[in-house]
A and B are shown apart, each in its own frame.
Chain A
Amino acid sequence: MSDRTVTRAELAEAVYEEVGLSRNESADLVEAVLNEMSNALVEGESVKISSFGSFSIRSKGERIGRNPKTGEEVPISPRKVLSFRPSHVLKNAINDSLYPE
Chain B
Amino acid sequence: MTRSELIARIAQQNPHLYHRDVERIVTTIFDEITDALCQGDRVELRGFGAFSVKHREARVGRNPRTGESVSVDAKAVPFFKTGKLLRERLNGDEE
Q: Which residues of A contact B (CB under 8 A)?
A: 1-8, 10-11, 14-15, 18-19, 21, 26, 29-30, 32-34, 36-38, 40-42, 45-53, 55, 57, 79-82, 84, 86, 90-91, 93-95, 97-99
Q: Complex: how many Å from CA A82 to CA B75?
A: 24
Q: Is the CB of B3 within 8 A of A99?
A: no
Q: How many A-B residue pairs have CB under 8 A?
A: 156
Contact, CB under 8 Å: B1 / A6? no
Q: Say yes or no: A19 contacts B86, CB within 8 Å.
A: no
Which residues of B are interface residues toward A (Cβ below 8 A)? 1-3, 6, 9-10, 13-14, 17, 21, 24-26, 28-34, 36-49, 51, 53, 73-80, 82, 86-87, 89-91
Docked-complex contact B37 and A94, CB < 8 angstroms: yes
Given the contacts A33-B25, A90-B78, A97 and B1 also touching, CB distance less than 8 Å: no
